[in-house]
Amino acid sequence: MEVGPRWNKVAPGIWSRVFGAPETFTARSALKAAPRWEALGEIPDAPFPFDPAAASGEVRGGRTVLRFPLRPNTPVFGLGLQFLRLDQRGRTRYLRVNSDPVQDTGETHAPVPFYVGGDGHAVLIDTARIVTIHVASVVRRKEAVPTPDRTTDPAWQETPPGSWVEAVLAAPGAEVFVFGGPTVRDAVRRYNLFSGGGFLPPRWSLGFWHRTPTRYSAAEVEAEAAEYRRRGFPCDVIGLEPGWHTAAYPCSYEWSRERFPDPAGFVHRLAEAGFTVNLWEHAWVSPKAEVHGPLAPLSGSHTVWGGLAPDYTLPEARKILENQHERAHLAAGVAGYKLDECDGSELTSGSWMFPAHATFPSGLDGEQMRQVYGLILQQLTAGLFRRRDRRTFGLVRASGAGAAPLPYALYTDLYDHRQYVRALCNAGFAGLLFAAEVRGASSPEEWVRRVQVASLSPLAQLDAWSSGTKPWTFPEVETAVRRALELRVRLVPYLYTAFARYQRDGTPPVRPMALEEDPGEARLADDQYMLGQDLLVAPLFAGQTERKVLLPPGNWYDFETGELLEGGGAAVLARPLESIPLLVREGAIVPLMPPLPHTPRAGETVALEVRHYGPRPGRYRLYDDDGETLAFEHGAFRWIDLAVDISQDGVRRGRVEMGPDVGGLVYDPVQWVFLG
């Protein structure tokens, strides 16, 4: 199919078109991330995925209306961090940043005007405006649709099925990008790479995280960290919540010398015990902060909680915060941030966020700034570590389009467990990561099931800021909780490789079943997901002793026992409380390390257990580098080739090719385990 002259091919399988006169400030322009052109060129080209003449756009009354065709009965995925459904077809989504995404409107912490058709194409609308997207949920008069009578015909539908996506935004135009397949995964990979590729976190950040209660002192934090070591629970990161500052609501960014008299000494002592420190903060600047005066003329017209809302699109505003954070935080050894409260709220009980009519020195209004504030904060703080040749990984409450290269995972104050799993799935469609953290539970059973999912999410965390919970809070299930945390640590080599793949080829480390090359019946499953290339996670929830799992074609094996399950349909799995259904693709190789107290650092020697599943040969490339610096961007990394060959008489033999030393880990000894 020849593409019309108004569509411009920007890379293999990617096209752009300008409708109207787009605003110069958009989500992409805010981040200024360079696409991974070389990696994009390695994905085979694809034809334009629909009739290019069918797409249309019109500008009237200060609004742009865009229209794109959809194939009949094709599911539609994406549109950001959605908690309530996987398939968005037949729904109208209002894509505004909001911390209250429970209502089924589309508002969420990370609304992304990027959708993926189940036929393997995707569309991105590049804007900093709120976008309302009607996903086959409106019908124009010239379209012929069935008209059953509600009173007599059971086929009547409240929303007649449409065949188009219609998007509306309050702007004089927009640039649109179309991503070809042929598979859903190909379209998502192209989008992630066009955004700049995924990020590679430091190895330590893939261990377990614990956030201490608010207003803890340095002595109390250190005592809690020591208790992890005494009880034998693995932990890598200690997170400080509101209370480490001189002022938290609004924020001062300065240490309380009453509770933390020696910040550098505090961080150093934790580092000696194998912990890194992550700091909670938010963007609204307290009048008590030393940066308040310099930032005042560079801030918006409205305050939040009485604090400034700085315009961090301005280089001079960014520099003020960067200098303060460098001096007060990074110089003391802080390793990352939790960026809270940048999502706003419109709850009936109150609200926080500057209004849409707010003005900023850069000329942006409140609507634009609200939509991109989380993105800008992520980029600003990530840059602090990049300048020190260090990687980071943190948490954030708001994000948006183009976020794949940013080293942050989203979190929420919502706490429905099934919605958490659905959010893990939906994040994989939109270049986002979600931390399905655990905070509290109503029973020991719920506690275990939540810890299991948290341990198998992109960032594994217990957030005890309010609850004060510990992994050992329910003594009767302490063994099951320890087992989940130890599994997390054992999987670090596998997870680190999954993130390396995300950085290089755009494949999400945690992804919904629809991103499988051949998902079969599982493509609409929203309560199970893939972890890396070969592990299928099927969580059990409180009250369940068994569940149905939808398996893609091929044979699958139980991770621990090697029990065979035939794919291509549904299987019912029963598991005791201490076990989560974790299945492995036939022929897969899974590298594991011991359940260490914390993840190893560069140069350390670590035993490697390599598991292989089923009577098929397997190949796996294990990624390794120094785990902390940016040297990998300049070639200082290696792929360790793991392979299993099978002789004619069915005997399996494992092979290892370590490759040159790059200052990473020393894997020795290597033990092969054959299951299935």
Checking if the pLDDT of 537 tops 50, the result is yes
Nearest to 194 by CA among 174, 168, 182, 176: 176
Token reading at 675: 């299951």
Angstrom CA distances, 157 to 76, 91, 137, stand at 19, 13, 11
Find out whether 27 and 401 touch, Cβ atoms under 8 Å.
yes
The Cβ of residue 479 has, within 10 Å, a number of other Cβ atoms equal to 11
Compute the average pLDDT of residues 430-442.
Answer: 97
Checking if the pLDDT of 1 tops 50, the result is no
Q: CA torsion angle for 137, 113, 499, 579 (degrees, to 10)?
A: -40
Amino acid at residue number 19: F
Checking if the pLDDT of 347 tops 70, the result is no
Nearest to 212 by CA among 248, 233, 237: 237
Quote the CA–CA distance of 674 and 676 in Å, as a whole number: 7
Quote the CA–CA distance of 275 and 270 in Å, as a whole number: 5
Strand 276-282 to 546-551 pairing: unpaired
Compute the average pLDDT of residues 272-295.
Answer: 98
Fold exhibited by the domain 206-500:
TIM Barrel (3.20.20)
Quote the CA–CA distance of 343 and 374 in Å, as a whole number: 7
Compute the average pLDDT of residues 344-360.
Answer: 79
Quote the CA–CA distance of 447 and 419 in Å, as a whole number: 16
Checking if the pLDDT of 426 tops 70, the result is yes
- Residue 99: per-residue pLDDT: 86
CATH 3.40.50.720 fits 502-585, yes or no: no
- Residue 279: per-residue pLDDT: 98
Find out whether 572 and 635 touch, Cβ atoms under 8 Å.
no
Nearest to 163 by CA among 139, 179, 147: 139
Checking if the pLDDT of 311 tops 60, the result is yes
Equal fold, 8-194 vs 206-500: no
- Residue 2: per-residue pLDDT: 44
Q: State the chain's mean pLDDT as an integer.
A: 95
Compute the average pLDDT of residues 107-127.
Answer: 97
- Residue 144: per-residue pLDDT: 67
Find out whether 76 and 118 touch, Cβ atoms under 8 Å.
yes
More confident residue, 2 or 584: 584
Compute the average pLDDT of residues 24-53.
Answer: 96
Compute the average pLDDT of residues 88-97.
Answer: 96
Non-local CB neighbours of 507 within 8 Å, separated by 6+ positions: 185, 189, 192, 198, 501, 515, 533
Residues 195-227: tens digit of each pLDDT: 999 999 999 999 999 999 999 999 999 999 999
Checking if the pLDDT of 58 tops 90, the result is yes
Checking if the pLDDT of 4 tops 60, the result is no
Compute the average pLDDT of residues 332-348.
Answer: 88
Q: Where are the domains of the chain?
A: 8-194, 206-500, 502-585, 591-675
- Give the model's confidence band at 154: pLDDT under 50 very low, under 70 low, under 90 confident, else very high: confident
- Residue 611: per-residue pLDDT: 98
3-state secondary structure 20-47: ECCCCCCHHHHHCCCCCHHHHHCCCCCC
Nearest to 350 by CA among 358, 341, 361, 359: 341
Lowest mean pLDDT among 154-158, 189-193, 461-465, 499-503: 154-158
CATH 3.30.428.10 fits 8-194, yes or no: no
Strand 173-179 to 208-211 pairing: unpaired
Residues 622-652: tens digit of each pLDDT: 999 999 999 999 999 999 999 999 999 999 9
Count the helices and strands in the chain (H runs, E runs): 12, 32
Percent over 70 (pLDDT), the chain: 97
Compute the average pLDDT of residues 418-438.
Answer: 98
- Give the model's confidence band at 102: pLDDT under 50 very low, under 70 low, under 90 confident, else very high: low
